[in-house]
Amino acid sequence: MSQRIVVDPITRIEGHLRIEAQMNGAKIEKAWSSGTMVRGIEIILKGCDPRDAWAFAQRICGVCTLVHGIASVRAVENALNYSVPANAQLIRNLMIGAQYIHDHVMHFYHLHALDWVDVVSALDADPKATSELAQSISRWPKSSPGYFSEMKTRLKNFVEAGQLGIFAKAYWGHPAYKLPAEANLMAVSHYLEALGWQRDVARLHTIFGGKNPHPNFLVGGVPCPIDLESDSALNAERLAKVQNIIEQMQLFVDQVYVPDTLAIAGFYKDWASRGEGLGNFLTVGDFPESGMDDPASYLIPSGAILNRNLDTIHAVDLNAPDQVQEFINHSWYDYSEGKDKGLHPYEGETELHYTGPEPPYEHLEVDQSYSWLKAPRWKGHAMEVGPLARVLMLYASGHEQTRALVDMTLKTLELPLEALFSTLGRTAARTLETKIVADNMQVWYDHLIANIRSGETRSFNETLWEPSSWPSQARGVGFMEAPRGALAHWIVIENEKIANYQAVVPSTWNAGPRDPSGQPGAYEAALQDNHDLYDPEQPVEILRTIHSFDPCIACAVHVTDPNGKELVQVKIT
C-alpha cells in the first residue's frame, strides 16, 4: 500500500521544516524536505556599510549565534585583503570552538537524545544499578545511587503531575526505544545537568564579545582590547575565567558526552547501516593557526570527498564560478535567466516567488517548486556538510587524533569503517569532533597567553578601517566551519556599499530540495536510505535521521524566526 506521510513541523530544531515521505509498504521510497518560512536577509544587506554587515547577518539565527558574524567579517576582510592580528585570530578560534562545544552538547542531550532515550522508562530504573552503569563508563562524580535516586524522584513528580513539560509530546514506549531503564535514567539525568552546564560555558562569548547570543565582532580584529591591568579590557581576571570555562567544557565532554554517546550507540548498532544517502562530503576548512590566508595551518582542512572514496580529497575553490552554484528548479525563487540555471553566489539572486499551494494544504507540489531553500551544488554534486564531513576529511587527511578516536569508537562498538556513513556515524562524528575541538581550546588559549606575556597585545588592525582606503570595487568570500557544517558568505562591494550579498549555509546544503537533474538533497537522500517505519503514526525513525544533521532551517532560508513548536503533527494520506 502506497501512502504519503507528512511530518510538519519537525520539532526540536531551529526553524520550520516539513518532511513528506512516500511509502512503499513500511519502507520510505521517496522523501522531500521543505523549508516553509522565509525572510530575505540578503536583500536587507544591499546598500549597507560592509563594516556593519556582520550585525545584520548574525541575526539570520539566534541558535547558530556567532557563525554568521564570523563569516561576514571574514568576507569583508577577504574582499579588502585586510589582515587580522594574531591575538584576534586566536580569540576568534576560541569563540568558534566554544560555540561548537556548547552547540554539540546541547544538540545531543536536548534535541537528539530523546530520539533514542525513553524518558518515561527511566521510572523503572534501579538507582543502584544506574550508578554501577555510570561508574563503569566514566569517572564523573555525580554518579552515586543517592544522586540517581534523587533524579528519579524528580522525574516521577513530573510524570505523576501530568506535567512532563520539556519531555511532553514524544513517542515514549515506542518499540524502537532499546535502552534499558538504567541507561535511560542516566541519560535523563545528564540531560538536566547539561542545562546548567550550557549556561555557564556560554559566558566565554560574553568575555570576548560582550554578550551571548550575538556577541560583538569587528572587521579587522575583535572588539576586546587586551590590558591586564584595566577593568574595561581583557584583563588577567577575565582570562582566568576563560581558562576555567575551558576546563569545564573539557571535563563534561570527556566524562559525560563521549561516554554517553558510546553507551547509547551500543544499543542501536542497526542504525550504522541506514541514513547515509549521498556519499559526498564537503568542508571549507577552519581554525587557522596563522591566518585565513594560510590553509595549511587550518585544524580542519578544506576539500571534497566523492562516492565515499577517502583516498582522494578534491580541492575546493569558493571563488571558481563552476564549483559552488545554487539551483532553484524546485525552490520558490526566480532567476533572471530562468529556473534551470545555477548561479555562483557572486552573481546570486534572491527574488522570492511563491508558487506553491495555498495553505493549509495536504501535500507539497513536489514535481514543481516545494521549498524556500535553494539547492547548492559543488561541481554539480549534491554534498553533505557538517560533523561527519569534517571527521571524514580529518581521517582521510591522516589527522592523528581523529584516526585514534574513530578507531577507538569503531572498536568499542565492533563496527567497520563503513559504519561512519550512516545516521549513527553522523551522531558519533559530532561527539568525536567536540572532543577534538575541546582539546584544541587549550592550545589556542595557551598561545594567546604566550603572546600577551611576550608583550604582543594588539587585537585590532586599523589600517583599512576607513572606506577612503578601499578600492571602488571589491569582492570576497568569508567562510568557516559552523557547527552544522560548511558556511560561506560572498560579498560584492561597490563605492563603499554592499552591492550584492549571498550566504550559502550548512542546512541549505543538507536540507535543500532536488536540483534540475533530480538529485535529492542530503536529508532527502538519507531518508531514502534503508528506512522502515514500525508505526507511521509515530515516525521516530524519520526524526532520528533528520535530527542527526542538527537542522537549522532559520539559517537555511536566512530567516529570523522563533524556535519550532514542541508539537509534532503527522498526517498520513
Please identify which of the residues 59, 274, 390, 484 carries the catalytic annotation: 484
pLDDT above 90 covers a percentage of the chain that reads: 87
Helix (H) or strand (E) run with residue 489 in it: strand 485-494
Burial of 379 (0-12, 13-18, 19+ CB in 10 A): middle
Q: Which of 467, 486, 485 is nearest to 477 (CA)?
A: 486
d(CA 428, CA 321): 34
Could you write out the three-class secondary structure of 346-363?
HHCCCEECCCCCCCCCCC
d(CA 100, CA 480): 12
| Successive 10-residue mean pLDDT values, the chain, 573 residues | 87 90 96 88 91 93 88 98 98 98 96 94 96 98 98 88 71 95 98 94 96 95 96 96 98 98 98 96 96 96 98 98 98 95 95 93 96 97 98 98 98 98 98 98 98 98 98 98 98 97 96 97 98 96 97 69 35 46
Please identify which of the residues 14, 77, 182, 326 carries the catalytic annotation: 14
d(CA 129, CA 180): 11
Alpha carbon dihedral 238, 241, 243, 245, in 10-degree steps, equals: -140
Please identify which of the residues 16, 42, 64, 384 carries the catalytic annotation: 64
**E-only strand ranges, 272-409:** 281-283, 286-288, 298-300, 303-305, 324-327, 333-334, 351-352, 375-378
Residue 14 annotated to the active site? yes
Residue 224 annotated to the active site? no
Question: For the chain, give me the number of helices (H) and strands (E)?
Answer: 17, 15
Please identify which of the residues 20, 507, 541, 558 carries the catalytic annotation: 507
CB atoms within 10 A of CB 381: 16
Burial of 9 (0-12, 13-18, 19+ CB in 10 A): buried
Residue 552 annotated to the active site? yes
The pLDDT of residue 558 is 55
CB atoms within 10 A of CB 532: 11
Helix (H) or strand (E) run with residue 437 in it: helix 423-453
DSSP 254: I
The pLDDT of residue 563 is 29
Q: Which of 15, 10, 136, 12 is nearest to 558 (CA)?
A: 15
d(CA 149, CA 471): 67
Query: Residue 40: helix, strand or coil by DSSP?
Result: coil
Q: Which of 252, 255, 260, 257 is nearest to 186 (CA)?
A: 260
Maximum Cα–Cα distance across the chain: 73
Q: Which of 573, 568, 571 is nearest to 10 (CA)?
A: 568
Please identify which of the residues 143, 547, 555, 558 carries the catalytic annotation: 555
Please identify which of the residues 77, 224, 331, 552 carries the catalytic annotation: 552
User: Residue 164 is placed in which grid cell?
Assistant: 512532563
Amino acid at 441: M
Please identify which of the residues 12, 16, 59, 68 carries the catalytic annotation: 68
d(CA 478, CA 413): 39
Residue 61 annotated to the active site? yes
How many Cα neighbours within 13 Å face the side chain of 36?
A: 22
Amino acid at 328: I
Please identify which of the residues 34, 61, 92, 121 carries the catalytic annotation: 61
- Match 560583538 to its residue by C-alpha cell: 216
User: Residue 75 is placed in which grid cell?
Assistant: 568576507
- First-residue to last-residue Cα distance in the chain: 11
d(CA 46, CA 503): 13
d(CA 380, CA 465): 38
Query: Residue 7: helix, strand or coil by DSSP?
Result: strand
d(CA 494, CA 48): 11
d(CA 487, CA 506): 6
| pTM of the model as a whole | 0.95
d(CA 364, CA 379): 28
Identify whether the C-beta of residue 488 lies closer than 8 Å to the C-beta of residue 476: no
Amino acid at 336: S
CB atoms within 10 A of CB 290: 11
Residue 48 annotated to the active site? no
Query: Using omega within 30 degrees of 0 as the cis cutoff, is the peptide bond preceding 360 cis?
Result: yes
Query: Using omega within 30 degrees of 0 as the cis cutoff, is the peptide bond preceding 50 cis?
Result: no
> How confident is the model over 13-25, as pLDDT tens digits?
888 899 999 999 9
Residue 555 annotated to the active site? yes
Question: Rounded to the nearest 5°, which phi and psi values hold at 217?
Answer: -135, 175
The pLDDT of residue 165 is 66
**Residue 190 CA: distances (Å) to CA of 110, 198, 261, 341, 473:** 10, 12, 12, 49, 53
User: Residue 544 is placed in which grid cell?
Assistant: 532520528
d(CA 377, CA 326): 6
